Each structure stands twice: as C-alpha cells, then as structure tokens.
Amino acid sequence: AFMGFLEVIKHLPLILRKIKKCKKDIEAFNPDRIVLIDYPGFNMRIAEWAKPKGYEVTFYISPTIWAWKKKRGWKLKKTVDKMIVILPFEKEVYKKYNMEAHYVGHPLLDAIEQFEADLTFKKKYKIETGKVLALLPGSRVQEVEKILPIMGAAIDHMDEEVHLLLACTKHVPRKVYEQALEKVKNRNIQYIIAETYDILNIADAALVSSGTATLETALFKVPQVVCYKTSTISYHIARSLVDLEYMSLVNLIMDRPVVAEFLQDDFTLENLIPELADIMGPKRAKILADYDELINKLGSSGASHRVAEIVLR
C-alpha cells in the first residue's frame, strides 16, 4: 500500500502492472464469485472489469465514499453485487445510492478477542512498576519519518518517569526509527517489533498515528492522542477533497471528539504536551467511558463468519 497522493503517483506503473496480472489470474482460475477486500484504488478497477464479464462481485470493507469522491457510490452500484461494510454508519450511507449494504461488525473485534497476551511480556522488557506510554508512529517509512520526531520530543517534556514502548514494524528498518529519535534526550525507549497488541495490553496511554491503530488502541481501552503529518502537498490535496469533521476512526464512529486529533500544522509540541498529561490524568475516566460506548456501537465479534455467510448466499 502507498501513502499519500504523490506516493501513489510515483508507484502508478507498478500498481497498473499488478492490476493487469490480477485480471489474468482471475481469468485463469475462472471463479464463480470474486471477493474484493479493501484497497479501493485497485479493487474498484477490478470490479469495473469483472462485472461485465459475468462474475459475481462482493466488496468487503467499503471504499470511504462518505469521506471523499462520493460519486464512486454510483459506480459501485453498477459494478458490485454485494457490499459488506465494517463501520456502523456506512449502511446508511449506501441508502443514498439505492444500494443495500450489509453491516457485519468490525474485524478488529475478532482479532482482539482472539489475542492471547504474552504473560512474560512485562518481565521480558523489565517493566515492574510505573506507567507505560505506547508510541505507535505508523507502519510506513514516510509516516515514521514525519510523526515520530515530534512524538519523541514530547517525551522529553514529561514530568513523570514512564516506560516508553515504541511499536515497530518489520517493514520499517530500525535505523529509520533511530534517525527519527536522534534528537531525543530520553534514551529509555524500548524498540519492540511486531508486538503492538502486547504493548497496548499493558499501556496506560498512547500517542497514535491516525488510522486503524486508533481503533485498536480504543478497543484495548488505552487513552490516546491521535497524531498525523504527511507531505505538505499531499495534506493540502487531501483536505481539499475530504469532507470530514474528524479523521480518527474513534471520533468518526462516535461522531464527536472523544480523543484529541493533532494533524499537520496542529501536530506541535505546544499542543501535544498538555494533552498527553491530560489523558494520563484528568481526562482518563471520560475517555474510558466513551470507549465503552464505542464498543457497544460496534456490536459483537464474528465479522468474518458473517461475511462468509453473505458471500455464499
């Protein structure tokens, strides 16, 4: 996956080659049904090609037509037989296009329900007492380079001693994280690869890059500040196209500002430092109560099972 408008343009030849290969693979396999999962820029092209050829097309995880390029809804009506959505408000969105959408719940509920905590995690990372702050700067190099330096700088202004756990991904080299934190004085940050759920399971608060991680953090009931920064051009293009009051999934689902969002020029130390102190203190109880309401809105686990039932009808 490629982040941002400029990044997508740079990788467009590769994306087009992948689309061509995907079409050939579908023709070779000749399935009765095609299930397209997320990745709208790619999968909407496949749907547009597949539907006239007689394939039954199911789209699981809707394109964000409620946020931008809303006319895509009419194209989806023509090219998709079954639309399966994972956010509670999306079912209502598709009524505007005279299209039925099936709400199955969010798959993260299944993932977190099935998560088995590492009982040795605290011992492994020498966490005996004290609070834990999780840093989730994103899963792409571009995100880490833009977001982590400011997260790191905020740590140096914290009044109390906390355990600092950095959620790293295998797709980002360690040197990228180290370079992003090179100006940070606090050297007690632990780099932890591919154990994000174990980090969130013990965290008292988190700084989180906007995206799916905001919802994961909420489902683990960890108060958070949502942070995001990208290239100036990509951000301004996005803001001119996106029609949203909130950017984090938590606030979108709740339709109110449950967690603070600091995006682009608002993502500053002046904003981040006091908010971080608040979520570890006076705001904590209110955020946790809102998380309970959020979980209730999402419904029960079992999304994948419900998807299978709809596909096979």
- Span 148-190, pLDDT tens digits: 999 999 999 887 789 999 999 999 999 999 999 999 988 789 9
Predicted local confidence at residue 11, as pLDDT: 72
pTM (two decimals): 0.89
Predicted local confidence at residue 277, as pLDDT: 94
* % of the chain surpassing 70 pLDDT: 97
pLDDT exceeds 60 at position 1:
no
| Phi, psi of 241, deg, nearest 5 | -105, -30
Predicted local confidence at residue 137, as pLDDT: 97
Tokens for 92?
């209502």
Predicted local confidence at residue 6, as pLDDT: 59
How much is the CA Rg of the chain, to the nearest whole Å?
A: 21
Q: 270-289, pLDDT tens digit by residue?
A: 999 999 999 999 999 999 99
State the DSSP H helix or E strand holding residue 55, giving kind and residue range, or none if neither: none
- Split at pLDDT 50, 70, 90, the class of 2 is very low
Of 195-209, 224-238, 288-302, minimum mean pLDDT range? 224-238
